[in-house]
Structure 1
Amino acid sequence: MSEWTYHDALAQFGIGSAHPGGYGLTKELLAKEALTAKTRVLDCGCGTGRTAALLAKRYRCKVTALDRHPLMLEKAKRRMAKEKVRSVRLLQGDIENLPFADNSFDLLLAESVTVFTDLGTALREYARVLRPGGVLIDLDMTAERPLSARELEELSLVYGTRHVPTEEEWRGRLEQAGFDLIEVVKGGSVASALAALTEQQAADAQDIDPSEGIDTQLYEIFAAHERVTRQYRHRLGFRVFRAVVK
């Protein structure tokens, strides 16, 4: 393959929790929701299935996990078999054209995926498949201040992102898509997230399932990711948005 992407790198290395705050933050967010065996959950951009497995095992939710990358789904299936999770429905699909009927879910979880899509299209799809009163939890890359065209171009070369909104821009996009009661339940700059990283969070981040014979270009992609993370640590951050469908 000649043109590897950042998402190919995540899939090839099989990284279970690539977002700020990691698996610990995921568990913290889910613990605050009133999840039951009747809760219909969509895990958008499920990756290797770490969050989906947690939802099924700890909360007994009705979980559908979707990812566009076939290798991610292959590794998610392997996780489910290893952890003896049989109730998660795994599907390949596009966040911008979700293969579900209107009002299909009570909770939609998106961990560091929406920013890599056409934002308006993806957020409208989230609102469409959630029932009225359904909840979106979206953890996403956020600009601490508006980024210049040059900065956006540099980030796009690494991540393929079209735009990195500020917190206020995210709020506006969510409102336009049909969400209400929008709140930020967690967030900060990359620098603050790195400073707050605990030993447990670092240990949790070691959830990987690497493929054999990983191309050297993929290591270069991660080197570029680390360089950009350092360079933009005060200009980039993350926010966890909790929003309700009107």
Structure 2
Amino acid sequence: MKQIKNSYLELLAELGIGGAHPGGIKLTEEILKSENINSTCHVLDAGCGTGQTAAYLSQTFQANVTALDFNSTMVAKAKHRMKINNLPVEIIEGSIEDIPLPNHHFDFIISESVISFVNKPKAISEIYRILKNGGRFIAVEPTLNERLDVTQEQEIMQFYGLDSLLMEKDWAELLKQIGFKNIQIQHHTTIESEPDFHYSNEIDPVLYDVMKKHLEIISKYQETFSYRVYTCTK
């Protein structure tokens, strides 16, 4: 199979999958119900993809929403989403490892299946930096239910381009080391969301093989490789 750099992330970008994180937009809606978000809040969607969550935040809470993604294809699709829905969401192209935004600016930051794909301590430190004191961080992240053997873990890490696979205690410890408090871990049953696609005009056929492999891995490791919702406060 032809190799594509960050092939899984390229697949998400070219198909323009909104809510690609586990649980999709319905999980996002469920999580945000318990957060005190209103029109005075500044909220960052870190790793926004096509902007589905950012649009929901703006439409539902009338919050001041900023959205960040490193992939130029995703950024273009997010901007298009905001334009056709007439939403005042600022879309920025940039890395979650080096966020081009000021210190202590946001009341809430949400990141959905993003930190696993980057340098985790660096990204979480950046999120901590730009949160206000007392600000809330909400993350949905792939999480091992139990350790796998080395070969199995390598299969997952190599396909998704991950540098490590964490269990929930590892995620909690990492958040604590950065300085976060009131760390809570939520388990959710699988929530089905309607697919949300914004296809590119031309899609490399190789990416359909990538999708096939992704579905194979999800099926193969469904009992041991799932996700958690992590919430905490600066």
CA distance in 1, matches of 2:4, 2:231: 35
Task: Name the amino acid aligned to 1:38.
Answer: T
Cross-structure match for 1:177: 178
Cross-structure match for 1:57: 59
Cross-structure match for 2:34: 32
Alignment of 1:47-196 (within 5 A): 47-85=49-87, 87-187=88-188, 193=190
CA distance in 1, matches of 2:69, 2:203: 21
Cross-structure match for 1:20: 22
Cross-structure match for 1:224: 213
Task: Name the amino acid aligned to 2:27.
Answer: L
CA distance in 2, matches of 1:37, 1:93: 25
CA distance in 1, matches of 2:123, 2:27: 23
CA distance in 1, matches of 2:187, 2:72: 31
CA distance in 1, matches of 2:22, 2:95: 23
CA distance in 1, matches of 2:113, 2:209: 21
Return the offset for 1:148.
3.2
For the aligned residues, what is the CA RMSD? 1.4
Gaps of 5+ in 2: none
Number of equivalences: 232
Residue identity over aligned pairs, in percent, reads: 34
Gaps of 5+ in 1: none
Task: Name the amino acid aligned to 1:43.
Answer: D
CA distance in 2, matches of 1:115, 1:168: 15
The TM-score, its normalising length taken from structure 1, stands at 0.91
Return the offset for 1:31.
1.7
Runs of 4+ in 1 over 6 A off after TM superposition: none
CA distance in 2, matches of 1:139, 1:220: 26
Give a deviation string over 1:196-235, Cα, whole Å, max 9, x none.
x4xxx34x2x210111221111101111100100111111
